[in-house]
Structure 1
Protein backbone atom coordinates (compact mmCIF):
# COMPACT_ATOMS: atom_id res chain seq x y z
CA UNK A 1 0.00 0.00 0.00
CA UNK A 2 1.30 3.44 -0.82
CA UNK A 3 0.11 6.72 -2.24
CA UNK A 4 -0.64 6.75 -5.96
CA UNK A 5 2.34 7.84 -8.06
CA UNK A 6 1.64 10.58 -10.61
CA UNK A 7 4.14 10.09 -13.44
CA UNK A 8 5.25 12.95 -15.68
CA UNK A 9 7.47 13.07 -18.77
CA UNK A 10 10.87 14.55 -17.90
CA UNK A 11 13.73 15.85 -20.07
CA UNK A 12 17.24 16.53 -18.75
CA UNK A 13 18.14 20.17 -19.40
CA UNK A 14 21.15 20.91 -17.17
CA UNK A 15 24.02 19.07 -15.49
CA UNK A 16 26.43 20.33 -12.81
CA UNK A 17 28.95 18.79 -10.41
CA UNK A 18 28.67 20.42 -6.96
CA UNK A 19 31.12 17.98 -5.34
CA UNK A 20 33.35 15.00 -6.05
CA UNK A 21 31.26 12.09 -7.36
CA UNK A 22 28.05 14.17 -7.09
CA UNK A 23 26.09 15.03 -10.22
CA UNK A 24 23.26 17.58 -10.04
CA UNK A 25 20.66 17.21 -12.80
CA UNK A 26 17.76 19.51 -13.64
CA UNK A 27 14.80 18.11 -15.57
CA UNK A 28 12.00 19.95 -17.34
CA UNK A 29 8.87 18.08 -16.24
CA UNK A 30 5.52 18.17 -18.05
CA UNK A 31 2.49 19.25 -16.00
CA UNK A 32 4.44 19.73 -12.78
CA UNK A 33 2.71 21.71 -10.05
CA UNK A 34 4.46 24.93 -9.15
CA UNK A 35 5.75 24.32 -5.62
CA UNK A 36 6.82 21.57 -3.25
CA UNK A 37 8.18 21.59 0.29
CA UNK A 38 11.82 20.99 1.33
CA UNK A 39 12.49 17.35 2.15
CA UNK A 40 10.30 16.14 -0.73
CA UNK A 41 11.40 13.31 -3.00
CA UNK A 42 10.64 12.11 -6.51
CA UNK A 43 10.77 8.72 -8.20
CA UNK A 44 12.56 8.34 -11.51
CA UNK A 45 12.36 5.53 -14.04
CA UNK A 46 15.76 3.97 -14.77
CA UNK A 47 17.02 0.98 -16.72
CA UNK A 48 19.33 -1.51 -14.99
CA UNK A 49 20.83 -4.37 -16.98
CA UNK A 50 18.19 -3.87 -19.60
CA UNK A 51 15.32 -4.06 -17.12
CA UNK A 52 13.07 -1.16 -16.01
CA UNK A 53 13.35 -0.06 -12.37
CA UNK A 54 12.45 2.87 -10.13
CA UNK A 55 14.79 4.87 -7.92
CA UNK A 56 13.98 7.62 -5.42
CA UNK A 57 15.91 10.87 -4.90
CA UNK A 58 15.43 14.06 -2.92
CA UNK A 59 14.35 17.06 -4.97
CA UNK A 60 16.36 20.26 -4.59
CA UNK A 61 15.04 23.82 -4.90
CA UNK A 62 14.67 24.69 -8.59
CA UNK A 63 12.70 26.87 -11.01
CA UNK A 64 9.00 26.33 -11.67
CA UNK A 65 8.31 23.43 -14.01
CA UNK A 66 11.58 21.68 -13.19
CA UNK A 67 12.87 19.05 -10.78
CA UNK A 68 16.50 19.01 -9.67
CA UNK A 69 18.23 16.05 -8.03
CA UNK A 70 21.82 15.49 -6.88
CA UNK A 71 23.10 11.92 -7.12
CA UNK A 72 26.30 10.46 -5.73
CA UNK A 73 27.90 7.80 -7.91
CA UNK A 74 28.00 5.03 -5.35
CA UNK A 75 30.65 2.28 -5.73
CA UNK A 76 28.15 -0.30 -4.43
CA UNK A 77 25.26 1.05 -6.50
CA UNK A 78 22.52 -1.38 -7.52
CA UNK A 79 22.52 0.50 -10.83
CA UNK A 80 20.36 3.57 -10.25
CA UNK A 81 23.11 6.13 -9.80
CA UNK A 82 25.08 4.69 -12.73
CA UNK A 83 22.04 5.09 -14.98
CA UNK A 84 21.29 8.71 -14.12
CA UNK A 85 24.98 9.59 -14.35
CA UNK A 86 25.05 8.55 -18.01
CA UNK A 87 22.02 10.68 -18.96
CA UNK A 88 22.86 13.60 -21.24
CA UNK A 89 20.97 16.89 -21.83
CA UNK A 90 18.01 16.17 -24.08
CA UNK A 91 17.55 12.60 -22.81
CA UNK A 92 14.06 11.75 -21.58
CA UNK A 93 12.64 9.62 -18.80
CA UNK A 94 9.70 9.84 -16.39
CA UNK A 95 9.51 11.28 -12.87
CA UNK A 96 6.74 11.55 -10.29
CA UNK A 97 5.14 14.53 -8.65
CA UNK A 98 7.18 15.08 -5.45
CA UNK A 99 5.81 13.81 -2.16
CA UNK A 100 7.13 14.45 1.33
CA UNK A 101 7.67 12.14 4.30
CA UNK A 102 10.47 14.28 5.77
CA UNK A 103 8.65 17.52 6.44
CA UNK A 104 9.66 20.51 8.51
CA UNK A 105 7.16 21.03 11.32
CA UNK A 106 7.50 24.83 11.48
CA UNK A 107 6.63 24.57 15.19
CA UNK A 108 10.05 24.67 16.90
CA UNK A 109 11.87 27.64 18.41
CA UNK A 110 15.18 26.33 17.02
CA UNK A 111 16.19 23.79 14.35
CA UNK A 112 19.34 21.67 14.33
CA UNK A 113 20.04 20.28 10.86
CA UNK A 114 22.60 17.47 10.50
CA UNK A 115 23.94 16.16 7.20
CA UNK A 116 26.44 13.40 6.47
CA UNK A 117 27.85 13.23 2.94
CA UNK A 118 25.18 13.15 0.23
CA UNK A 119 22.64 13.36 3.08
CA UNK A 120 22.89 17.09 2.48
CA UNK A 121 20.28 16.85 -0.30
CA UNK A 122 17.11 17.17 1.84
CA UNK A 123 18.90 19.27 4.47
CA UNK A 124 19.99 21.80 1.85
CA UNK A 125 16.41 22.71 0.96
CA UNK A 126 15.42 22.88 4.63
CA UNK A 127 18.30 25.22 5.43
CA UNK A 128 17.36 27.56 2.60
CA UNK A 129 13.69 27.59 3.63
CA UNK A 130 14.45 28.22 7.30
CA UNK A 131 16.95 30.97 6.48
CA UNK A 132 14.44 32.66 4.16
CA UNK A 133 11.95 32.85 7.04
CA UNK A 134 14.52 34.05 9.55
CA UNK A 135 14.13 30.96 11.75
CA UNK A 136 16.67 30.14 14.46
CA UNK A 137 18.79 27.28 13.13
CA UNK A 138 22.19 25.63 12.95
CA UNK A 139 23.50 23.24 10.30
CA UNK A 140 26.33 20.80 10.96
CA UNK A 141 27.68 19.07 7.87
CA UNK A 142 30.24 16.30 7.83
CA UNK A 143 31.87 14.36 4.99
CA UNK A 144 34.98 12.35 4.29
CA UNK A 145 36.64 15.38 2.72
CA UNK A 146 35.76 18.98 1.98
CA UNK A 147 35.76 18.15 -1.71
CA UNK A 148 32.80 15.85 -1.08
CA UNK A 149 30.66 18.54 0.54
CA UNK A 150 28.07 19.46 -2.07
CA UNK A 151 26.65 23.01 -1.82
CA UNK A 152 28.97 23.88 1.09
CA UNK A 153 30.05 27.18 -0.49
CA UNK A 154 26.49 28.31 -1.18
CA UNK A 155 25.36 27.33 2.31
CA UNK A 156 28.29 29.17 3.86
CA UNK A 157 27.34 32.34 1.98
CA UNK A 158 23.71 32.18 3.14
CA UNK A 159 24.11 30.82 6.68
CA UNK A 160 27.44 32.29 7.78
CA UNK A 161 28.17 31.21 11.36
CA UNK A 162 25.04 29.06 11.25
CA UNK A 163 26.98 26.45 9.26
CA UNK A 164 29.70 24.26 10.77
CA UNK A 165 31.53 21.77 8.53
CA UNK A 166 33.64 18.77 9.55
CA UNK A 167 36.06 16.79 7.37
CA UNK A 168 37.08 13.27 8.38
CA UNK A 169 40.30 13.56 6.36
CA UNK A 170 41.23 16.55 8.51
CA UNK A 171 40.54 14.57 11.69
CA UNK A 172 37.36 16.50 12.47
CA UNK A 173 34.10 15.14 13.85
CA UNK A 174 31.08 16.62 15.53
CA UNK A 175 29.86 15.77 19.01
CA UNK A 176 26.18 14.87 18.74
CA UNK A 177 25.77 14.45 22.48
CA UNK A 178 27.01 17.97 23.10
CA UNK A 179 24.97 19.37 20.21
CA UNK A 180 21.79 17.86 21.68
CA UNK A 181 22.67 18.96 25.23
CA UNK A 182 22.66 22.68 24.39
CA UNK A 183 19.41 22.69 22.41
CA UNK A 184 16.37 24.55 23.79
CA UNK A 185 13.68 22.31 25.25
CA UNK A 186 11.33 22.62 22.28
CA UNK A 187 14.01 22.44 19.57
CA UNK A 188 13.87 19.87 16.78
CA UNK A 189 16.62 18.02 14.94
CA UNK A 190 16.51 16.86 11.32
CA UNK A 191 19.20 14.46 10.12
CA UNK A 192 20.12 12.65 6.92
CA UNK A 193 23.25 10.63 6.30
CA UNK A 194 24.83 7.19 6.62
CA UNK A 195 23.08 4.52 8.64
CA UNK A 196 25.62 4.66 11.48
CA UNK A 197 25.13 8.39 11.93
CA UNK A 198 21.36 8.01 12.10
CA UNK A 199 21.60 5.20 14.61
CA UNK A 200 23.99 7.17 16.83
CA UNK A 201 21.72 10.21 16.68
CA UNK A 202 18.65 8.21 17.62
CA UNK A 203 20.40 6.57 20.60
CA UNK A 204 21.84 9.85 21.89
CA UNK A 205 18.55 11.71 21.43
CA UNK A 206 16.75 9.03 23.42
CA UNK A 207 19.47 9.14 26.07
CA UNK A 208 18.99 12.90 26.39
CA UNK A 209 15.36 12.35 27.39
CA UNK A 210 14.01 14.50 24.56
CA UNK A 211 10.73 13.50 22.86
CA UNK A 212 11.43 11.19 19.92
CA UNK A 213 8.78 13.08 17.95
CA UNK A 214 11.20 16.01 17.75
CA UNK A 215 13.93 13.99 16.03
CA UNK A 216 13.29 13.49 12.31
CA UNK A 217 15.53 11.56 9.94
CA UNK A 218 15.72 10.34 6.37
CA UNK A 219 17.21 6.96 5.62
CA UNK A 220 19.60 5.77 2.95
CA UNK A 221 18.96 2.22 1.77
CA UNK A 222 22.65 1.30 1.85
CA UNK A 223 24.11 0.49 5.27
CA UNK A 224 27.65 0.58 3.88
CA UNK A 225 28.46 -2.74 5.56
CA UNK A 226 28.11 -5.21 2.71
CA UNK A 227 28.07 -5.26 -1.08
CA UNK A 228 24.77 -6.42 -2.57
CA UNK A 229 24.60 -10.10 -3.45
CA UNK A 230 21.75 -12.15 -4.88
CA UNK A 231 19.91 -14.36 -2.40
CA UNK A 232 16.90 -16.66 -2.28
CA UNK A 233 13.71 -16.08 -0.33
CA UNK A 234 11.20 -18.78 0.54
CA UNK A 235 7.82 -17.62 1.83
CA UNK A 236 6.39 -19.87 4.55
CA UNK A 237 2.90 -21.34 4.09
CA UNK A 238 2.85 -20.40 0.37
CA UNK A 239 5.30 -22.75 -1.31
CA UNK A 240 6.76 -19.77 -3.16
CA UNK A 241 10.47 -19.17 -3.59
CA UNK A 242 12.05 -16.22 -5.38
CA UNK A 243 15.57 -15.04 -6.14
CA UNK A 244 16.40 -11.45 -5.21
CA UNK A 245 18.89 -10.00 -7.67
CA UNK A 246 21.76 -7.86 -6.45
CA UNK A 247 20.17 -4.83 -8.12
CA UNK A 248 16.67 -5.15 -6.61
CA UNK A 249 15.07 -5.14 -3.18
CA UNK A 250 13.45 -8.12 -1.52
CA UNK A 251 10.15 -6.22 -1.51
CA UNK A 252 10.27 -5.70 -5.27
CA UNK A 253 11.17 -9.35 -5.90
CA UNK A 254 8.28 -10.54 -3.73
CA UNK A 255 5.79 -8.19 -5.39
CA UNK A 256 6.94 -9.26 -8.86
CA UNK A 257 6.37 -12.89 -7.81
CA UNK A 258 2.80 -12.08 -6.75
CA UNK A 259 3.39 -12.31 -3.01
CA UNK A 260 0.92 -10.14 -1.07
CA UNK A 261 2.81 -7.46 0.85
CA UNK A 262 1.90 -4.39 2.89
CA UNK A 263 4.30 -1.48 2.43
CA UNK A 264 4.52 2.29 2.26
CA UNK A 265 7.75 4.28 2.67
CA UNK A 266 10.19 1.92 0.89
CA UNK A 267 12.98 3.47 2.98
CA UNK A 268 13.06 1.37 6.15
CA UNK A 269 11.23 3.91 8.27
CA UNK A 270 7.61 2.84 8.68
CA UNK A 271 8.01 -0.91 9.32
CA UNK A 272 4.91 -1.90 7.36
CA UNK A 273 6.84 -4.27 5.09
CA UNK A 274 8.59 -6.07 7.98
CA UNK A 275 8.60 -9.85 7.69
CA UNK A 276 9.47 -12.53 10.26
CA UNK A 277 12.72 -14.44 9.74
CA UNK A 278 12.07 -18.14 10.30
CA UNK A 279 15.54 -19.29 9.20
CA UNK A 280 18.52 -17.70 7.46
CA UNK A 281 21.70 -19.27 6.09
CA UNK A 282 23.68 -16.00 6.02
CA UNK A 283 24.02 -12.69 7.82
CA UNK A 284 21.08 -10.30 7.56
CA UNK A 285 22.19 -6.82 6.47
CA UNK A 286 19.70 -4.60 8.31
CA UNK A 287 19.39 -1.22 6.60
CA UNK A 288 16.35 0.17 8.39
CA UNK A 289 15.92 2.58 11.27
CA UNK A 290 12.56 1.16 12.29
CA UNK A 291 13.94 -1.61 14.51
CA UNK A 292 16.15 -0.94 17.52
CA UNK A 293 19.77 -2.11 17.59
CA UNK A 294 18.72 -4.95 19.89
CA UNK A 295 15.95 -6.05 17.54
CA UNK A 296 18.29 -6.01 14.57
CA UNK A 297 20.84 -8.04 16.54
CA UNK A 298 18.17 -10.64 17.37
CA UNK A 299 17.39 -10.83 13.62
CA UNK A 300 13.84 -12.06 14.10
CA UNK A 301 12.41 -9.56 11.61
CA UNK A 302 13.64 -7.52 8.67
CA UNK A 303 12.27 -4.66 6.55
CA UNK A 304 11.78 -6.10 3.07
CA UNK A 305 12.13 -2.70 1.37
CA UNK A 306 15.78 -2.07 2.31
CA UNK A 307 17.30 -4.96 4.27
CA UNK A 308 18.72 -8.04 2.58
CA UNK A 309 20.66 -11.24 3.09
CA UNK A 310 24.40 -11.48 2.37
CA UNK A 311 23.89 -14.32 -0.09
CA UNK A 312 22.37 -17.70 0.73
CA UNK A 313 18.73 -18.33 1.57
CA UNK A 314 16.17 -16.97 4.00
CA UNK A 315 12.80 -18.42 5.00
CA UNK A 316 10.34 -15.67 5.89
CA UNK A 317 6.77 -15.42 7.12
CA UNK A 318 4.77 -12.45 5.87
CA UNK A 319 1.91 -13.18 8.24
CA UNK A 320 -0.53 -13.43 5.34
CA UNK A 321 -2.84 -16.45 5.30
CA UNK A 322 -5.17 -17.16 2.38
CA UNK A 323 -7.72 -18.83 4.63
CA UNK A 324 -7.75 -15.80 6.95
CA UNK A 325 -8.18 -13.44 4.00
CA UNK A 326 -11.08 -15.55 2.72
Structure 2
Protein backbone atom coordinates (compact mmCIF):
# COMPACT_ATOMS: atom_id res chain seq x y z
CA UNK A 1 0.00 0.00 0.00
CA UNK A 2 2.83 2.36 0.88
CA UNK A 3 4.59 1.65 -2.43
CA UNK A 4 1.40 2.27 -4.41
CA UNK A 5 0.65 5.49 -2.51
CA UNK A 6 4.23 6.67 -2.99
CA UNK A 7 3.91 6.15 -6.75
CA UNK A 8 0.62 8.09 -6.74
CA UNK A 9 2.25 10.95 -4.78
CA UNK A 10 5.23 11.09 -7.16
CA UNK A 11 2.94 11.12 -10.23
CA UNK A 12 0.83 13.91 -8.71
CA UNK A 13 3.94 15.88 -7.77
CA UNK A 14 5.31 15.69 -11.31
CA UNK A 15 1.82 16.52 -12.58
CA UNK A 16 1.84 19.61 -10.35
CA UNK A 17 5.18 20.62 -11.88
CA UNK A 18 3.64 20.28 -15.35
CA UNK A 19 0.67 22.45 -14.30
CA UNK A 20 3.10 24.90 -12.71
CA UNK A 21 4.82 25.17 -16.09
CA UNK A 22 1.74 26.14 -18.10
CA UNK A 23 0.34 28.20 -15.21
CA UNK A 24 3.57 30.20 -14.94
CA UNK A 25 4.51 30.25 -18.64
CA UNK A 26 3.17 33.79 -18.79
CA UNK A 27 5.80 35.00 -16.35
CA UNK A 28 8.64 34.62 -18.81
CA UNK A 29 6.88 35.01 -22.17
CA UNK A 30 4.13 37.59 -21.60
CA UNK A 31 6.20 40.66 -22.48
CA UNK A 32 8.08 39.01 -25.37
CA UNK A 33 4.70 38.01 -26.88
CA UNK A 34 3.00 41.35 -26.24
CA UNK A 35 5.87 43.21 -27.97
CA UNK A 36 5.66 40.73 -30.90
CA UNK A 37 9.33 39.79 -30.65
CA UNK A 38 8.26 36.14 -30.77
CA UNK A 39 5.03 34.43 -31.70
CA UNK A 40 3.29 32.61 -28.83
CA UNK A 41 4.49 29.23 -30.12
CA UNK A 42 8.08 30.41 -30.54
CA UNK A 43 7.97 31.99 -27.09
CA UNK A 44 6.87 28.84 -25.24
CA UNK A 45 9.55 26.77 -27.01
CA UNK A 46 12.17 29.38 -26.08
CA UNK A 47 11.02 29.46 -22.46
CA UNK A 48 10.82 25.67 -22.16
CA UNK A 49 14.36 25.28 -23.48
CA UNK A 50 15.77 27.55 -20.78
CA UNK A 51 13.50 26.09 -18.10
CA UNK A 52 15.22 22.76 -18.64
CA UNK A 53 18.69 24.26 -19.10
CA UNK A 54 18.50 25.38 -15.46
CA UNK A 55 18.89 21.71 -14.47
CA UNK A 56 22.58 21.86 -15.39
CA UNK A 57 23.27 24.96 -13.27
CA UNK A 58 21.09 24.89 -10.15
CA UNK A 59 22.57 21.80 -8.54
CA UNK A 60 22.66 22.92 -4.90
CA UNK A 61 18.89 22.35 -4.41
CA UNK A 62 18.66 25.05 -1.72
CA UNK A 63 15.03 25.92 -2.53
CA UNK A 64 14.10 22.21 -2.47
CA UNK A 65 15.63 21.92 1.00
CA UNK A 66 13.61 24.90 2.26
CA UNK A 67 10.31 23.48 0.98
CA UNK A 68 11.11 20.06 2.47
CA UNK A 69 11.53 21.62 5.92
CA UNK A 70 8.29 23.64 6.07
CA UNK A 71 6.48 20.85 7.97
CA UNK A 72 8.27 19.10 10.84
CA UNK A 73 9.32 15.55 9.95
CA UNK A 74 7.24 13.80 12.63
CA UNK A 75 4.04 15.15 11.03
CA UNK A 76 4.95 14.23 7.44
CA UNK A 77 3.23 11.18 5.99
CA UNK A 78 2.34 10.19 2.45
CA UNK A 79 -1.28 11.09 3.21
CA UNK A 80 -0.22 14.61 4.28
CA UNK A 81 1.78 15.07 1.08
CA UNK A 82 -1.06 13.65 -1.03
CA UNK A 83 -3.59 16.07 0.48
CA UNK A 84 -1.24 19.02 0.00
CA UNK A 85 -0.60 18.16 -3.65
CA UNK A 86 -4.30 17.67 -4.48
CA UNK A 87 -5.16 21.02 -2.88
CA UNK A 88 -2.32 22.77 -4.72
CA UNK A 89 -3.36 21.29 -8.07
CA UNK A 90 -7.02 22.29 -7.57
CA UNK A 91 -6.16 25.90 -6.66
CA UNK A 92 -3.69 26.18 -9.53
CA UNK A 93 -6.28 24.95 -12.04
CA UNK A 94 -8.91 27.29 -10.59
CA UNK A 95 -6.68 30.38 -10.88
CA UNK A 96 -5.48 29.32 -14.34
CA UNK A 97 -9.08 28.92 -15.56
CA UNK A 98 -9.93 32.47 -14.48
CA UNK A 99 -6.64 33.91 -15.76
CA UNK A 100 -5.40 34.88 -12.29
CA UNK A 101 -1.57 34.87 -12.07
CA UNK A 102 -1.36 33.47 -8.55
CA UNK A 103 1.72 31.83 -7.08
CA UNK A 104 2.21 28.11 -7.71
CA UNK A 105 4.94 28.22 -5.08
CA UNK A 106 2.66 29.55 -2.36
CA UNK A 107 -0.10 27.17 -3.45
CA UNK A 108 2.22 24.21 -2.87
CA UNK A 109 3.53 25.62 0.39
CA UNK A 110 0.02 26.36 1.70
CA UNK A 111 -1.22 22.91 0.74
CA UNK A 112 1.69 21.14 2.41
CA UNK A 113 1.40 23.24 5.58
CA UNK A 114 -2.39 22.93 5.79
CA UNK A 115 -2.28 19.14 5.49
CA UNK A 116 0.47 19.01 8.14
CA UNK A 117 -1.66 21.11 10.48
CA UNK A 118 -4.62 18.76 9.96
CA UNK A 119 -2.33 15.81 10.75
CA UNK A 120 -1.24 17.50 14.00
CA UNK A 121 -4.89 18.08 14.96
CA UNK A 122 -5.71 14.41 14.31
CA UNK A 123 -2.91 13.44 16.73
CA UNK A 124 -4.36 15.69 19.45
CA UNK A 125 -1.59 18.27 19.12
CA UNK A 126 -1.89 21.99 18.42
CA UNK A 127 -2.43 22.64 14.70
CA UNK A 128 0.61 24.91 14.73
CA UNK A 129 2.82 22.17 16.18
CA UNK A 130 3.46 20.79 12.68
CA UNK A 131 4.82 24.04 11.26
CA UNK A 132 8.52 24.85 11.05
CA UNK A 133 8.20 28.60 11.41
CA UNK A 134 11.66 29.67 10.21
CA UNK A 135 11.17 28.75 6.51
CA UNK A 136 7.45 29.60 6.56
CA UNK A 137 8.04 33.14 7.87
CA UNK A 138 10.81 33.65 5.32
CA UNK A 139 8.45 32.72 2.48
CA UNK A 140 5.63 34.90 3.85
CA UNK A 141 8.00 37.88 4.14
CA UNK A 142 8.92 37.52 0.48
CA UNK A 143 5.28 37.68 -0.58
CA UNK A 144 5.81 41.39 0.00
CA UNK A 145 9.56 41.65 -0.60
CA UNK A 146 9.83 39.78 -3.92
CA UNK A 147 7.58 42.14 -5.96
CA UNK A 148 9.05 45.19 -4.22
CA UNK A 149 12.60 44.05 -4.98
CA UNK A 150 11.60 43.27 -8.57
CA UNK A 151 10.00 46.70 -8.92
CA UNK A 152 13.01 48.49 -7.45
CA UNK A 153 15.50 46.63 -9.68
CA UNK A 154 13.37 47.19 -12.80
CA UNK A 155 13.36 50.95 -12.14
CA UNK A 156 17.16 50.96 -11.76
CA UNK A 157 17.68 48.89 -14.92
CA UNK A 158 15.27 51.13 -16.84
CA UNK A 159 17.17 54.26 -15.80
CA UNK A 160 20.49 52.66 -16.82
CA UNK A 161 19.10 51.56 -20.20
CA UNK A 162 17.61 54.99 -20.84
CA UNK A 163 20.97 56.59 -20.13
CA UNK A 164 22.85 54.17 -22.40
CA UNK A 165 20.44 54.64 -25.30
CA UNK A 166 19.73 58.37 -24.96
CA UNK A 167 21.67 59.28 -28.13
CA UNK A 168 20.35 56.42 -30.25
CA UNK A 169 17.69 56.89 -32.88
CA UNK A 170 14.35 55.50 -31.67
CA UNK A 171 14.08 53.01 -34.55
CA UNK A 172 17.60 51.67 -33.93
CA UNK A 173 17.05 51.48 -30.16
CA UNK A 174 13.78 49.61 -30.65
CA UNK A 175 15.53 47.10 -32.94
CA UNK A 176 18.24 46.44 -30.35
CA UNK A 177 15.82 46.16 -27.46
CA UNK A 178 13.82 43.56 -29.36
CA UNK A 179 17.01 41.51 -29.75
CA UNK A 180 17.84 42.00 -26.08
CA UNK A 181 14.38 40.74 -25.15
CA UNK A 182 15.40 37.32 -26.37
CA UNK A 183 18.25 37.39 -23.85
CA UNK A 184 16.18 38.80 -20.97
CA UNK A 185 13.28 36.37 -21.49
CA UNK A 186 15.77 33.49 -21.67
CA UNK A 187 17.35 34.64 -18.39
CA UNK A 188 13.93 34.85 -16.73
CA UNK A 189 12.95 31.38 -17.98
CA UNK A 190 16.29 30.01 -16.77
CA UNK A 191 15.88 31.35 -13.23
CA UNK A 192 12.16 30.44 -13.22
CA UNK A 193 13.08 26.82 -13.95
CA UNK A 194 15.79 26.87 -11.29
CA UNK A 195 13.47 28.26 -8.63
CA UNK A 196 10.17 26.54 -9.35
CA UNK A 197 11.26 23.01 -10.33
CA UNK A 198 13.06 22.69 -7.02
CA UNK A 199 9.87 23.11 -5.01
CA UNK A 200 8.43 19.82 -6.23
CA UNK A 201 11.84 18.18 -5.88
CA UNK A 202 11.64 18.93 -2.17
CA UNK A 203 8.14 17.43 -1.93
CA UNK A 204 9.16 14.20 -3.71
CA UNK A 205 12.23 13.90 -1.49
CA UNK A 206 10.22 14.14 1.75
CA UNK A 207 7.69 11.66 0.33
CA UNK A 208 10.49 9.15 -0.17
CA UNK A 209 11.79 9.82 3.34
CA UNK A 210 8.28 9.42 4.77
CA UNK A 211 7.91 6.06 3.00
CA UNK A 212 11.39 5.03 4.26
CA UNK A 213 12.78 4.60 0.75
CA UNK A 214 15.34 7.24 1.73
CA UNK A 215 16.70 8.39 5.07
CA UNK A 216 16.90 12.03 6.12
CA UNK A 217 20.19 13.37 4.84
CA UNK A 218 20.50 10.93 1.95
CA UNK A 219 21.49 12.41 -1.41
CA UNK A 220 18.59 13.18 -3.74
CA UNK A 221 18.34 10.57 -6.53
CA UNK A 222 19.19 12.15 -9.87
CA UNK A 223 15.91 11.09 -11.49
CA UNK A 224 14.01 13.53 -9.25
CA UNK A 225 15.53 16.79 -10.60
CA UNK A 226 15.53 15.46 -14.18
CA UNK A 227 11.82 14.57 -13.92
CA UNK A 228 10.89 17.89 -12.34
CA UNK A 229 12.78 20.04 -14.83
CA UNK A 230 11.36 18.02 -17.73
CA UNK A 231 7.80 18.34 -16.38
CA UNK A 232 7.95 22.09 -15.86
CA UNK A 233 9.47 22.52 -19.33
CA UNK A 234 6.72 20.48 -20.97
CA UNK A 235 4.13 22.45 -19.02
CA UNK A 236 5.64 25.71 -20.24
CA UNK A 237 5.35 24.45 -23.82
CA UNK A 238 1.61 24.02 -23.23
CA UNK A 239 1.27 27.75 -22.64
CA UNK A 240 -1.17 29.58 -20.40
CA UNK A 241 -2.68 32.18 -22.67
CA UNK A 242 -5.26 33.64 -20.27
CA UNK A 243 -2.52 34.62 -17.85
CA UNK A 244 -0.27 35.83 -20.69
CA UNK A 245 -2.93 38.41 -21.53
CA UNK A 246 -3.10 39.64 -17.93
CA UNK A 247 0.67 39.85 -17.48
CA UNK A 248 1.48 41.20 -20.94
CA UNK A 249 -1.05 43.97 -21.34
CA UNK A 250 -3.55 44.38 -18.48
CA UNK A 251 -1.11 45.60 -15.81
CA UNK A 252 0.53 48.17 -18.07
CA UNK A 253 1.26 48.39 -21.78
CA UNK A 254 4.81 47.12 -22.30
CA UNK A 255 7.19 47.92 -25.17
CA UNK A 256 10.47 46.15 -26.00
CA UNK A 257 12.60 48.45 -23.82
CA UNK A 258 10.30 47.91 -20.83
CA UNK A 259 10.17 44.18 -21.52
CA UNK A 260 13.96 43.97 -21.29
CA UNK A 261 13.99 45.93 -18.04
CA UNK A 262 11.17 43.93 -16.41
CA UNK A 263 12.47 40.50 -17.47
CA UNK A 264 16.05 41.30 -16.45
CA UNK A 265 14.87 42.57 -13.07
CA UNK A 266 12.81 39.43 -12.58
CA UNK A 267 15.76 37.20 -13.50
CA UNK A 268 18.12 39.05 -11.13
CA UNK A 269 15.62 38.81 -8.25
CA UNK A 270 14.99 35.11 -8.80
CA UNK A 271 18.71 34.39 -9.09
CA UNK A 272 19.44 36.18 -5.82
CA UNK A 273 16.65 34.49 -3.89
CA UNK A 274 17.61 31.04 -5.22
CA UNK A 275 21.17 31.67 -4.04
CA UNK A 276 19.84 32.16 -0.51
CA UNK A 277 17.43 29.23 -0.75
CA UNK A 278 14.27 31.36 -0.60
CA UNK A 279 11.33 29.85 -2.56
CA UNK A 280 9.80 33.06 -3.90
CA UNK A 281 6.97 33.43 -6.36
CA UNK A 282 8.02 33.97 -9.96
CA UNK A 283 4.58 35.47 -10.54
CA UNK A 284 4.96 38.04 -7.76
CA UNK A 285 8.48 38.91 -8.89
CA UNK A 286 7.71 39.60 -12.55
CA UNK A 287 4.49 41.42 -11.66
CA UNK A 288 6.46 43.79 -9.43
CA UNK A 289 9.00 44.27 -12.21
CA UNK A 290 6.28 45.13 -14.74
CA UNK A 291 4.73 47.59 -12.29
CA UNK A 292 8.19 49.17 -11.87
CA UNK A 293 8.59 49.93 -15.57
CA UNK A 294 5.04 51.28 -15.64
CA UNK A 295 5.73 53.60 -12.70
CA UNK A 296 8.78 55.01 -14.45
CA UNK A 297 6.49 56.34 -17.19
CA UNK A 298 3.86 57.70 -14.81
CA UNK A 299 1.79 56.41 -11.93
CA UNK A 300 -1.37 56.37 -14.05
CA UNK A 301 0.31 54.03 -16.58
CA UNK A 302 -0.24 51.16 -14.15
CA UNK A 303 -3.77 49.76 -14.13
CA UNK A 304 -4.14 49.72 -10.35
CA UNK A 305 -7.53 48.02 -10.41
CA UNK A 306 -6.00 44.95 -12.06
CA UNK A 307 -3.01 45.09 -9.71
CA UNK A 308 -5.22 45.19 -6.60
CA UNK A 309 -7.12 42.12 -7.85
CA UNK A 310 -3.78 40.31 -8.24
CA UNK A 311 -2.81 41.30 -4.69
CA UNK A 312 -6.00 39.74 -3.35
CA UNK A 313 -5.16 36.49 -5.15
CA UNK A 314 -1.68 36.57 -3.61
CA UNK A 315 -3.02 37.15 -0.08
CA UNK A 316 -5.63 34.40 -0.38
CA UNK A 317 -3.45 31.71 -1.99
CA UNK A 318 -1.74 30.31 1.12
CA UNK A 319 -4.78 30.29 3.47
CA UNK A 320 -7.14 28.93 0.78
CA UNK A 321 -4.68 26.19 -0.21
CA UNK A 322 -4.03 25.35 3.44
CA UNK A 323 -7.75 25.14 4.26
CA UNK A 324 -8.46 23.03 1.17
CA UNK A 325 -5.58 20.67 2.03
CA UNK A 326 -6.79 20.35 5.63
CA UNK A 327 -10.26 19.34 4.41
CA UNK A 328 -8.82 16.85 1.91
CA UNK A 329 -6.55 15.34 4.58
CA UNK A 330 -9.51 14.97 6.95
CA UNK A 331 -11.44 13.08 4.25
CA UNK A 332 -8.45 10.82 3.53
CA UNK A 333 -7.94 10.24 7.26
CA UNK A 334 -11.63 9.40 7.77
CA UNK A 335 -12.09 6.98 4.86
CA UNK A 336 -8.68 5.49 4.21
CA UNK A 337 -6.74 5.52 7.50
CA UNK A 338 -9.40 4.55 10.03
Same fold (TM over 0.5): no
Relative to its length, the structure with more helix (as a share) is 2
| TM-score for the superposition, normalised by structure 1 | 0.25
Relative to its length, the structure with more strand (as a share) is 1
